[in-house]
């Protein structure tokens, strides 16, 4: 698939000022400036994150109310329920808050709604469970900000709510005792991008200060917070960067028993990074909710005995294997449907439906289809009497608005810029498919249908060495708004030693200005002919560390290449 290359720029004066202050490579100063770091002080906080730089939890609106209500519940011997969503952010939030409260008070339980029986967020079944068990306070994590009617219902039967959420609030807020959400219009908390587990962390921090507990009573859950940050794809800037930095440190030095069990099953040998949390830990946790019941993810995270934790981890591992099998099978079927219909191939959207597809993986399948047919995509399956599914967008296109424009054909929908969920009656499928194609065709620009590679900076091969790589590594943890830097090297040549490995990858050996370097290009064998042309090439890549026989060297991880312009 052809890709667009976009080379980012930075303000020259800012780069020069940083270079004068930091006395480091100008290229590194450019990367910092692109990330909004314009002064020595900002760069210092970036390279040397400190827990002491975390904001006071008391800056968050309603924090005093939340803490007072929890302490009142403890003093009055009320039962407390910790309630969270079934994804990674929700289950880590619940596991951390449940353990924290349980360490100071015995009458605490937790609840995770079942994805298919109850749906997303606060559920009536969950509130009724609380009532049956004489619970009078529910702390919701990673959900609740939009549950106005359900929280009214809870209040009518004598149950108070403390909502800890990070999703964008509507104009009408739920009638909770306290709402902790930095995105509320009148909340002056300085950092707005915490995930649900991060908001819960701030509440634990405030309770720790009030009850004069040891700092470790909440800091011990940093590995869970880092896992939630990684999985929920929130910006790794500001406070999230500090939490992710120290959370990863805990994952590597002293992880909770549950995370240790997952790492053991995955055969982890090396240091864990954010990407490992995203690709090793998160899929196994999410699979529990997708394929079965996410309650066991919380049971894994709160388990102290390694042998027992390993049993829970095996259940998640098994769910993830089932998820992978389902997603591979459905992706293959969906591609076959598209490829067998010329009209579908030519469209600017993909809408595919089969009644037997597993509801838990249709969102993943939509993302997979975009890898082949780069366009807004909807994957649908049967859910009871209706059709339900997930939609995914391409970078830069507002999918939610496009689905909103087709609402007359839908029973329900929700989501955001890049992803959405929807339900519709089976008889409306064709009308929705046609309306979605029409709306997207009218709104999308041709370039948005070509995937874009964002390139941070141009570099020459002689500039790439271990010292440069080591400074670059201090920019970890990488993630949204601090992505791993992508470089371009122009007019490089193949040395003649590059070769195809395992039929689909390329082991590169390229040179520029008489200096050669090796690299790996996964699934790039179809571009090998460009190397054989003995012509100058432009290459796009990230940097990686290669260790062999105790020797360390920097290698390129190829993203794309083309003949030099």
181 and 292 both lie in a single domain: yes
435 and 468 both lie in a single domain: no
Residue 336 lies in a domain: no
Residue 114: helix, strand or coil by DSSP?
coil
Question: Which of 283, 361, 374 has its CA nearest to residue 327?
Answer: 361
For residue 244, the domain's CATH number is 3.90.1640.30
244 and 126 both lie in a single domain: yes
pLDDT less than 70: residues of the chain: none
Count Cβ neighbours within 10 Å for each residue of 50-66 and write b for 16 or more, e otherwise.
Answer: eeeebbebeebbbbeeb
Cα–Cα distance for residue pair 183/56, rounded to 1 Å: 16
Condensed to tens digits (0 to 9), the pLDDT of residues 157-180 reads 999 999 999 998 989 999 999 999
Burial class of residue 21, CB neighbours in 10 A (0-12, 13-18, 19+): middle
For residue 496, the domain's CATH number is 2.40.50.460
Range of the domain at 36: 4-48+453-563
CA distances to 71, 237, 356, 553 from 204, rounded to whole Å, are 12, 21, 44, 43
CA distances to 248, 296, 382 from 256, rounded to whole Å, are 12, 15, 39
Under a CB-based contact definition with an 8 Å cutoff, are residues 73 and 177 in contact? no
387 and 291 both lie in a single domain: no
Under a CB-based contact definition with an 8 Å cutoff, are residues 405 and 413 in contact? no
Tell me, what DSSP letter sits at residue 417? S
Question: Which of 501, 488, 503, 510 has its CA nearest to residue 555?
Answer: 510
400 and 488 both lie in a single domain: no
Residue 322 lies in a domain: no
CA distances to 351, 353, 388, 404 from 412, rounded to whole Å, are 17, 17, 9, 10
Residue 31 parent element (H or E): helix 26-34
Cα–Cα distance for residue pair 395/418, rounded to 1 Å: 8
Query: Mind spelling out the 3-state secondary structure of 175-227?
Result: CCCEEECCCCCCCCCCCCCCCHHHHHHHHHHHHHHHCCCCCHHHHCCHHHHHH
Residue 120 lies in a domain: yes
Condensed to tens digits (0 to 9), the pLDDT of residues 513-565 reads 989 999 999 999 999 999 999 899 999 999 999 888 888 899 999 999 999 97
Q: The tokens 């599914």 sit on which residue?
A: 389
- Two structure tokens written together for 236: 């790794």
- Two structure tokens written together for 400: 């939610």
Cα–Cα distance for residue pair 360/226, rounded to 1 Å: 24
312 and 209 both lie in a single domain: yes
Q: How many domains does the chain have?
A: 3
**pTM as predicted:** 0.92
182 and 247 both lie in a single domain: yes
Cα–Cα distance for residue pair 363/350, rounded to 1 Å: 13
Residue 305 lies in a domain: yes
Query: For residue 428, is it left (φ>0), alpha (ψ between -120 and 50) or beta?
Result: alpha
Cα–Cα distance for residue pair 241/195, rounded to 1 Å: 12
- Two structure tokens written together for 448: 């948005």
Domain boundary among the residues 408, 434, 449 is at: 449
- Two structure tokens written together for 297: 């993810």
- Two structure tokens written together for 233: 């794809």
Domain boundary among the residues 449, 471, 505 is at: 449
HSE-CB at 524 with a 13 A cutoff on CA atoms is 23
Residue 524 lies in a domain: yes
The rounded Cα 511 to chain-centroid distance in angstroms is 36
429 and 544 both lie in a single domain: no
233 and 118 both lie in a single domain: yes
pLDDT at 90: 95
- 477 preceded by a cis bond (ω within 30 of 0): yes
398 and 308 both lie in a single domain: no
Under a CB-based contact definition with an 8 Å cutoff, are residues 481 and 33 in contact? no
Tell me, what DSSP letter sits at residue 561? E
Cα–Cα distance for residue pair 83/188, rounded to 1 Å: 26
Cα–Cα distance for residue pair 422/363, rounded to 1 Å: 11
Cα–Cα distance for residue pair 80/106, rounded to 1 Å: 9
376 and 519 both lie in a single domain: no
Under a CB-based contact definition with an 8 Å cutoff, are residues 121 and 143 in contact? yes
Residue 350 lies in a domain: yes
Residue 270 lies in a domain: yes
Cα–Cα distance for residue pair 87/162, rounded to 1 Å: 20
Domain boundary among the residues 316, 351, 367 is at: 316
Residue 545 lies in a domain: yes
pLDDT at 255: 96
For residue 384, the domain's CATH number is 3.10.310.30
Tell me, what DSSP letter sits at residue 278? I
442 and 528 both lie in a single domain: no
């Amino acid at each position: 698939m052809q890709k667009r290359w976009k080379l980012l720029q930075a303000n020259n004066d800012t780069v020069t000022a940083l270079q004068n202050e930091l006395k480091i490579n100008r290229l590194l100063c450019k990367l910092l400036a692109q990330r909004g770091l314009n002064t020595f002080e900002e760069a210092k906080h970036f390279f040397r994150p400190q827990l002491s730089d975390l904001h006071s939890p008391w800056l968050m609106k309603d924090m005093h109310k939340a803490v007072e209500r929890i302490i009142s519940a403890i003093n009055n011997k009320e039962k407390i329920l910790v309630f969270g969503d079934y994804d990674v952010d929700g289950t880590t939030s619940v596991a951390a808050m449940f353990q924290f409260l349980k360490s100071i008070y015995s009458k605490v339980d937790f609840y995770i709604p079942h994805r298919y029986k109850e749906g997303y967020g606060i559920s009536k079944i969950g509130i009724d469970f609380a009532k049956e068990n004489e619970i009078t306070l529910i702390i919701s994590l990673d959900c609740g900000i939009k549950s106005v009617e359900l929280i009214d219902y809870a209040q009518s039967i004598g149950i108070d709510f403390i909502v800890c959420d990070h999703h964008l609030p509507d104009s009408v807020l739920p009638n909770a005792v306290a709402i902790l959400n930095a995105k509320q219009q009148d909340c002056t908390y300085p950092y707005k991008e915490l995930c649900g587990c991060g908001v819960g962390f701030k509440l634990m921090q405030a309770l720790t200060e009030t009850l004069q507990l040891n700092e470790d009573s909440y800091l011990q859950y940093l590995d869970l917070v880092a896992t939630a940050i990684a999985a929920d794809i929130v910006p790794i800037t500001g406070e999230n960067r500090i939490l992710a930095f120290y959370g990863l440190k805990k994952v590597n030095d002293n992880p909770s028993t549950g995370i240790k069990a997952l790492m053991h099953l995955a055969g982890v040998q090396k240091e864990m990074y954010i990407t490992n949390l995203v690709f090793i830990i998160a899929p196994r946790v999410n699979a529990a909710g997708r394929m079965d019941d996410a309650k066991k993810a919380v049971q894994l995270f709160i388990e102290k005995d390694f042998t027992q934790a390993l049993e829970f981890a095996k259940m998640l591992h098994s769910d993830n294997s089932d998820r992978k099998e389902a997603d591979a099978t459905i992706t293959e079927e969906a591609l076959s449907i598209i490829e067998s219909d010329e009209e579908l191939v030519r469209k600017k959207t993909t809408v595919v439906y089969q009644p037997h597809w597993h509801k838990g993986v249709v969102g993943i399948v939509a993302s997979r289809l975009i890898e082949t047919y780069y366009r807004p995509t909807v994957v649908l399956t049967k859910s009871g009497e209706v059709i339900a599914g997930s939609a995914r967008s391409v970078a830069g296109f507002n999918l939610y608005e496009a689905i909103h424009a087709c609402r007359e054909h839908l029973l329900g929908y929700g989501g955001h810029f890049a992803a959405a969920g929807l339900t519709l009656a089976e008889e409306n499928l064709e009308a929705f498919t046609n309306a979605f194609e029409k709306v997207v065709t009218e709104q999308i620009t041709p370039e948005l249908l070509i995937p874009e590679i964002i390139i941070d900076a141009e570099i020459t091969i002689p500039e790439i060495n271990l010292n440069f790589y080591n400074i670059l590594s201090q920019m970890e943890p990488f993630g949204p708004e601090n992505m791993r830097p992508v470089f371009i090297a122009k007019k490089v040549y193949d040395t003649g030693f590059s070769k195809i490995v395992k039929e689909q990858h390329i082991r590169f050996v390229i040179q520029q200005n008489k200096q050669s370097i090796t690299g790996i290009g996964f699934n790039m064998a179809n571009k090998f002919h460009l190397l054989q042309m003995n012509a100058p090439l432009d290459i796009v890549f990230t940097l990686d560390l290669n260790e062999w026989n105790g020797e360390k060297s920097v290698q390129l991880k190829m993203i794309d290449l083309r003949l030099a312009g």
